[in-house]
Structure 1
Protein backbone atom coordinates (compact mmCIF):
# COMPACT_ATOMS: atom_id res chain seq x y z
CA UNK A 1 0.00 0.00 0.00
CA UNK A 2 2.47 2.66 -1.10
CA UNK A 3 0.64 5.96 -1.26
CA UNK A 4 1.63 9.56 -1.64
CA UNK A 5 -1.01 10.50 0.96
CA UNK A 6 0.70 8.75 3.87
CA UNK A 7 0.09 10.05 7.40
CA UNK A 8 2.59 8.74 9.91
CA UNK A 9 1.48 7.99 13.45
CA UNK A 10 4.38 7.87 15.88
CA UNK A 11 4.70 6.00 19.14
CA UNK A 12 2.22 7.35 21.72
CA UNK A 13 0.57 9.32 18.91
CA UNK A 14 -2.78 9.37 17.12
CA UNK A 15 -4.21 10.87 13.96
CA UNK A 16 -7.13 10.75 11.54
CA UNK A 17 -7.35 10.41 7.76
CA UNK A 18 -9.95 11.05 5.08
CA UNK A 19 -10.15 11.07 1.27
CA UNK A 20 -8.18 7.86 0.76
CA UNK A 21 -5.16 8.85 2.84
CA UNK A 22 -3.33 6.04 4.63
CA UNK A 23 -2.38 6.03 8.31
CA UNK A 24 0.83 4.16 9.17
CA UNK A 25 2.59 3.26 12.39
CA UNK A 26 5.70 1.19 12.98
CA UNK A 27 7.25 -0.48 15.97
CA UNK A 28 4.21 -2.20 17.42
CA UNK A 29 5.65 -4.65 19.93
CA UNK A 30 3.73 -4.54 23.19
CA UNK A 31 2.01 -1.38 21.93
CA UNK A 32 -1.41 -1.64 20.25
CA UNK A 33 -2.30 -0.03 16.96
CA UNK A 34 -6.01 0.66 17.36
CA UNK A 35 -8.01 1.79 14.32
CA UNK A 36 -11.53 3.16 14.08
CA UNK A 37 -13.43 3.57 10.82
CA UNK A 38 -16.66 5.15 9.62
CA UNK A 39 -17.34 3.29 6.34
CA UNK A 40 -20.01 5.76 5.17
CA UNK A 41 -18.04 9.00 5.56
CA UNK A 42 -14.67 7.23 4.99
CA UNK A 43 -13.11 8.67 8.13
CA UNK A 44 -10.29 6.63 9.63
CA UNK A 45 -8.44 7.02 12.90
CA UNK A 46 -5.39 5.35 14.40
CA UNK A 47 -3.87 5.43 17.88
CA UNK A 48 -0.48 3.94 18.80
CA UNK A 49 -1.25 3.01 22.41
CA UNK A 50 1.79 2.37 24.64
CA UNK A 51 0.22 1.70 28.04
CA UNK A 52 -3.16 0.52 29.36
CA UNK A 53 -4.07 3.27 31.82
CA UNK A 54 -3.25 6.91 32.52
CA UNK A 55 -3.50 6.13 36.24
CA UNK A 56 0.19 5.16 36.10
CA UNK A 57 1.23 8.43 34.45
CA UNK A 58 4.18 10.17 36.06
CA UNK A 59 4.42 13.16 33.74
CA UNK A 60 2.83 16.45 34.78
CA UNK A 61 1.11 16.92 31.41
CA UNK A 62 -0.39 13.67 30.17
CA UNK A 63 0.12 12.68 26.54
CA UNK A 64 -3.45 11.60 25.74
CA UNK A 65 -2.31 9.32 22.90
CA UNK A 66 -0.01 7.27 25.16
CA UNK A 67 -2.69 5.52 27.24
CA UNK A 68 -5.66 3.40 26.09
CA UNK A 69 -8.12 5.12 28.45
CA UNK A 70 -7.30 8.60 27.11
CA UNK A 71 -6.30 7.85 23.48
CA UNK A 72 -9.57 6.23 22.43
CA UNK A 73 -11.88 9.06 23.62
CA UNK A 74 -9.51 11.63 22.05
CA UNK A 75 -9.50 9.72 18.74
CA UNK A 76 -13.30 9.53 18.81
CA UNK A 77 -13.59 13.28 19.37
CA UNK A 78 -11.25 14.08 16.48
CA UNK A 79 -13.08 11.72 14.14
CA UNK A 80 -16.50 13.14 15.06
CA UNK A 81 -15.14 16.64 14.44
CA UNK A 82 -14.60 15.74 10.74
CA UNK A 83 -17.93 13.97 10.26
CA UNK A 84 -17.61 10.42 11.60
CA UNK A 85 -20.64 9.07 13.41
CA UNK A 86 -19.99 6.92 16.45
CA UNK A 87 -22.89 4.54 15.75
CA UNK A 88 -21.22 3.55 12.45
CA UNK A 89 -17.68 3.08 13.73
CA UNK A 90 -15.92 -0.26 13.63
CA UNK A 91 -12.59 -1.11 15.22
CA UNK A 92 -9.59 -3.18 14.18
CA UNK A 93 -6.40 -3.61 16.14
CA UNK A 94 -2.95 -5.15 15.97
CA UNK A 95 0.03 -5.51 18.28
CA UNK A 96 -0.02 -6.20 21.98
CA UNK A 97 2.77 -8.75 21.78
CA UNK A 98 4.60 -10.23 24.75
CA UNK A 99 8.04 -9.34 23.45
CA UNK A 100 10.12 -10.86 26.23
CA UNK A 101 9.74 -13.91 28.44
CA UNK A 102 9.95 -13.25 32.17
CA UNK A 103 10.00 -15.85 34.90
CA UNK A 104 7.08 -15.45 37.26
CA UNK A 105 5.12 -13.31 34.77
CA UNK A 106 3.99 -10.59 37.17
CA UNK A 107 1.07 -8.55 35.86
CA UNK A 108 3.27 -5.48 35.44
CA UNK A 109 5.39 -7.35 32.87
CA UNK A 110 2.36 -8.32 30.76
CA UNK A 111 2.23 -4.92 29.01
CA UNK A 112 1.14 -6.25 25.59
CA UNK A 113 -1.76 -8.40 26.82
CA UNK A 114 -2.83 -5.66 29.25
CA UNK A 115 -2.83 -3.10 26.40
CA UNK A 116 -5.10 -5.37 24.33
CA UNK A 117 -7.46 -5.98 27.28
CA UNK A 118 -7.66 -2.28 28.08
CA UNK A 119 -8.35 -1.27 24.46
CA UNK A 120 -11.10 -3.89 24.16
CA UNK A 121 -12.67 -2.78 27.43
CA UNK A 122 -12.76 0.89 26.38
CA UNK A 123 -14.02 0.14 22.86
CA UNK A 124 -16.81 -1.92 24.42
CA UNK A 125 -17.78 1.01 26.68
CA UNK A 126 -18.36 3.08 23.54
CA UNK A 127 -20.32 0.18 21.97
CA UNK A 128 -17.97 -0.01 18.99
CA UNK A 129 -17.70 -3.50 17.48
CA UNK A 130 -14.24 -4.96 16.94
CA UNK A 131 -14.30 -6.35 13.40
CA UNK A 132 -10.84 -7.90 13.42
CA UNK A 133 -7.64 -8.12 15.39
CA UNK A 134 -4.14 -9.49 15.03
CA UNK A 135 -2.84 -9.32 18.58
CA UNK A 136 -0.52 -11.22 20.88
CA UNK A 137 2.38 -13.39 19.87
CA UNK A 138 5.99 -12.39 20.47
CA UNK A 139 6.82 -10.39 17.35
CA UNK A 140 6.62 -6.79 16.17
CA UNK A 141 4.30 -5.35 13.57
CA UNK A 142 3.92 -2.37 11.24
CA UNK A 143 0.41 -1.41 10.18
CA UNK A 144 -1.18 0.71 7.46
CA UNK A 145 -4.85 1.69 7.51
CA UNK A 146 -6.57 2.88 4.33
CA UNK A 147 -9.24 5.54 4.89
CA UNK A 148 -10.78 4.81 1.49
CA UNK A 149 -11.41 1.10 2.05
CA UNK A 150 -11.03 0.46 5.78
CA UNK A 151 -8.42 -2.19 5.00
CA UNK A 152 -5.77 -2.79 7.68
CA UNK A 153 -2.47 -4.11 6.32
CA UNK A 154 -0.19 -5.77 8.88
CA UNK A 155 3.47 -6.49 8.20
CA UNK A 156 5.76 -8.60 10.32
CA UNK A 157 9.14 -10.17 9.67
CA UNK A 158 7.90 -13.56 10.94
CA UNK A 159 4.55 -13.76 9.11
CA UNK A 160 4.90 -11.43 6.12
CA UNK A 161 1.87 -9.38 5.07
CA UNK A 162 -1.68 -9.92 6.29
CA UNK A 163 -4.87 -7.96 5.50
CA UNK A 164 -7.81 -7.63 7.86
Structure 2
Protein backbone atom coordinates (compact mmCIF):
# COMPACT_ATOMS: atom_id res chain seq x y z
CA UNK A 1 0.00 0.00 0.00
CA UNK A 2 1.09 3.58 -0.57
CA UNK A 3 2.70 5.67 2.15
CA UNK A 4 -0.41 7.81 2.76
CA UNK A 5 -1.93 11.12 1.82
CA UNK A 6 -1.14 13.94 4.23
CA UNK A 7 -4.09 16.09 5.28
CA UNK A 8 -2.70 19.47 6.33
CA UNK A 9 -4.41 22.20 8.31
CA UNK A 10 -7.69 23.24 6.65
CA UNK A 11 -7.24 20.59 3.92
CA UNK A 12 -9.72 18.03 2.62
CA UNK A 13 -8.32 14.92 0.92
CA UNK A 14 -10.04 11.93 -0.71
CA UNK A 15 -8.63 8.42 -1.20
CA UNK A 16 -9.95 5.29 -2.85
CA UNK A 17 -8.94 1.81 -1.72
CA UNK A 18 -6.15 1.06 -1.14
CA UNK A 19 -5.46 4.35 0.59
CA UNK A 20 -4.37 5.95 3.81
CA UNK A 21 -5.10 9.42 5.19
CA UNK A 22 -2.80 11.01 7.78
CA UNK A 23 -3.24 14.20 9.79
CA UNK A 24 -0.60 15.33 12.25
CA UNK A 25 -0.61 17.78 15.12
CA UNK A 26 -4.26 17.92 16.12
CA UNK A 27 -4.54 20.07 19.23
CA UNK A 28 -7.83 21.90 19.36
CA UNK A 29 -8.32 20.90 15.70
CA UNK A 30 -10.48 17.96 14.62
CA UNK A 31 -9.43 15.21 12.24
CA UNK A 32 -12.71 14.09 10.66
CA UNK A 33 -13.04 11.14 8.27
CA UNK A 34 -16.13 10.16 6.28
CA UNK A 35 -16.15 6.80 4.53
CA UNK A 36 -18.22 4.25 2.63
CA UNK A 37 -16.80 0.72 2.98
CA UNK A 38 -18.89 -0.63 0.08
CA UNK A 39 -17.72 2.04 -2.36
CA UNK A 40 -14.20 1.79 -0.86
CA UNK A 41 -13.72 5.56 -0.54
CA UNK A 42 -12.80 7.87 2.34
CA UNK A 43 -12.14 11.59 2.82
CA UNK A 44 -10.59 13.49 5.70
CA UNK A 45 -10.64 17.12 6.84
CA UNK A 46 -8.33 18.87 9.31
CA UNK A 47 -10.84 21.25 10.93
CA UNK A 48 -9.36 24.27 12.71
CA UNK A 49 -12.41 26.32 13.77
CA UNK A 50 -16.09 25.65 14.50
CA UNK A 51 -17.83 28.14 12.21
CA UNK A 52 -17.14 29.98 8.99
CA UNK A 53 -19.39 32.86 10.07
CA UNK A 54 -21.55 31.95 7.10
CA UNK A 55 -18.81 32.76 4.57
CA UNK A 56 -19.43 29.51 2.68
CA UNK A 57 -17.15 30.54 -0.21
CA UNK A 58 -13.97 30.02 1.77
CA UNK A 59 -11.07 28.79 -0.41
CA UNK A 60 -10.26 26.17 2.29
CA UNK A 61 -13.62 24.64 3.33
CA UNK A 62 -11.80 22.09 5.51
CA UNK A 63 -10.91 24.90 7.90
CA UNK A 64 -14.37 25.13 9.48
CA UNK A 65 -16.68 22.40 10.82
CA UNK A 66 -19.74 23.91 9.11
CA UNK A 67 -18.08 23.88 5.69
CA UNK A 68 -15.90 20.76 6.08
CA UNK A 69 -18.79 18.35 6.68
CA UNK A 70 -20.75 19.22 3.51
CA UNK A 71 -17.50 19.36 1.50
CA UNK A 72 -16.48 15.85 2.61
CA UNK A 73 -19.98 14.53 1.87
CA UNK A 74 -19.82 16.02 -1.63
CA UNK A 75 -16.34 14.59 -2.24
CA UNK A 76 -17.20 11.00 -1.28
CA UNK A 77 -20.56 11.04 -3.10
CA UNK A 78 -18.82 12.19 -6.30
CA UNK A 79 -16.38 9.28 -5.83
CA UNK A 80 -19.21 6.71 -5.72
CA UNK A 81 -20.31 6.63 -2.08
CA UNK A 82 -23.98 6.45 -1.09
CA UNK A 83 -25.15 8.85 1.61
CA UNK A 84 -27.07 6.20 3.56
CA UNK A 85 -23.86 4.14 3.91
CA UNK A 86 -21.62 6.97 5.11
CA UNK A 87 -19.97 6.71 8.52
CA UNK A 88 -17.81 9.21 10.39
CA UNK A 89 -14.95 9.03 12.88
CA UNK A 90 -13.13 11.93 14.49
CA UNK A 91 -10.40 12.81 16.95
CA UNK A 92 -8.87 15.97 18.42
CA UNK A 93 -10.63 18.87 20.08
CA UNK A 94 -8.19 19.20 22.99
CA UNK A 95 -7.89 22.17 25.34
CA UNK A 96 -4.18 22.70 24.78
CA UNK A 97 -3.60 25.69 27.07
CA UNK A 98 -4.92 26.46 30.52
CA UNK A 99 -6.34 29.94 30.04
CA UNK A 100 -8.67 31.36 32.72
CA UNK A 101 -12.25 31.02 31.48
CA UNK A 102 -11.25 28.59 28.73
CA UNK A 103 -13.04 25.46 29.99
CA UNK A 104 -16.20 26.64 28.27
CA UNK A 105 -17.29 29.53 26.12
CA UNK A 106 -15.50 31.34 23.33
CA UNK A 107 -11.95 30.31 24.32
CA UNK A 108 -12.79 26.59 24.44
CA UNK A 109 -12.00 26.13 20.74
CA UNK A 110 -11.39 22.37 20.98
CA UNK A 111 -14.73 21.70 22.68
CA UNK A 112 -16.53 23.99 20.26
CA UNK A 113 -14.85 22.28 17.27
CA UNK A 114 -16.01 18.84 18.47
CA UNK A 115 -19.55 20.03 19.24
CA UNK A 116 -19.98 21.85 15.94
CA UNK A 117 -18.61 18.89 13.97
CA UNK A 118 -21.05 16.51 15.71
CA UNK A 119 -23.92 18.95 15.14
CA UNK A 120 -23.17 19.18 11.42
CA UNK A 121 -22.85 15.40 11.06
CA UNK A 122 -26.18 14.88 12.83
CA UNK A 123 -27.85 17.55 10.70
CA UNK A 124 -26.57 15.78 7.56
CA UNK A 125 -27.77 12.39 8.81
CA UNK A 126 -24.25 10.92 9.06
CA UNK A 127 -23.63 8.44 11.89
CA UNK A 128 -20.60 9.17 14.09
CA UNK A 129 -19.31 5.65 14.85
CA UNK A 130 -16.05 6.56 16.60
CA UNK A 131 -14.73 9.55 18.49
CA UNK A 132 -11.72 10.47 20.66
CA UNK A 133 -12.03 14.14 21.60
CA UNK A 134 -11.29 16.43 24.53
CA UNK A 135 -8.59 16.28 27.14
CA UNK A 136 -5.43 18.36 26.97
CA UNK A 137 -3.03 16.32 24.81
CA UNK A 138 -2.22 16.61 21.13
CA UNK A 139 -3.08 13.82 18.71
CA UNK A 140 -2.22 12.59 15.24
CA UNK A 141 -4.47 10.28 13.22
CA UNK A 142 -4.18 7.70 10.44
CA UNK A 143 -7.12 6.15 8.60
CA UNK A 144 -6.66 3.19 6.28
CA UNK A 145 -9.14 1.76 3.78
CA UNK A 146 -7.60 -1.66 4.51
CA UNK A 147 -9.38 -1.97 7.86
CA UNK A 148 -11.53 1.23 8.16
CA UNK A 149 -9.92 1.99 11.54
CA UNK A 150 -8.92 5.48 12.67
CA UNK A 151 -5.67 5.04 14.61
CA UNK A 152 -5.27 7.86 17.13
CA UNK A 153 -1.80 8.57 18.48
CA UNK A 154 -2.06 10.65 21.65
CA UNK A 155 1.01 12.48 22.90
CA UNK A 156 2.44 10.67 25.91
CA UNK A 157 -0.26 7.96 25.98
CA UNK A 158 0.28 5.78 22.93
CA UNK A 159 -2.14 4.79 20.22
CA UNK A 160 -5.59 3.27 19.93
CA UNK A 161 -7.89 2.33 17.09
CA UNK A 162 -11.44 3.58 16.84
Q: Shorter-chain TM-score: which interval?
A: over 0.9
Q: Is the 8 A contact 1:98 1:113 kept in 2?
A: yes
Normalising by structure 1, we get a TM-score of: 0.92
Structure 2 length-normalised TM: 0.93
Match of 2:141 in 1: 143
Tell me: CA distance 1:81–1:5, structure 2 relative to 1, closer, same or farther (3 Å).
Answer: farther
> Corresponding residue for 1:45?
43
1:61/1:72 CA distance change after superposition, 3 Å = closer
Match of 2:64 among 64, 67, 81: 67
The CA RMSD over aligned residues, in Å, is 1.6
**What whole-Å deviation, never above 9, does each CA across 1:61-117 have from its counterpart, x for those lacking one?**
542110010111111111111101110011110000000111123622100000000
Q: Does 1:82 align with 2:52?
A: no
Structure 2 spans left out of the alignment, 5+ residues: none
Where do 5+ consecutive residues of structure 1 fail to align? Answer: none
Matched, 1:35 2:33: yes
Correspondence list, 1:70-149, <5 A: 70-105=67-102, 107-149=105-147
Distance in 2 (CA, whole Å) between partners of 1:76 and 1:40 is 15
Q: Which contiguous aligned blocks of 4+ residues in structure 1 show a shift greater than 6 angstroms?
A: none
Distance 1:162 1:12 in 2: 24
> How much has 1:130 moved relative to structure 2?
0.7
Once the two structures are TM-superposed, the CA of residue 122 in structure 1 deviates from its matched residue by 0.2
Q: How big is the shift at 1:157?
A: 2.3
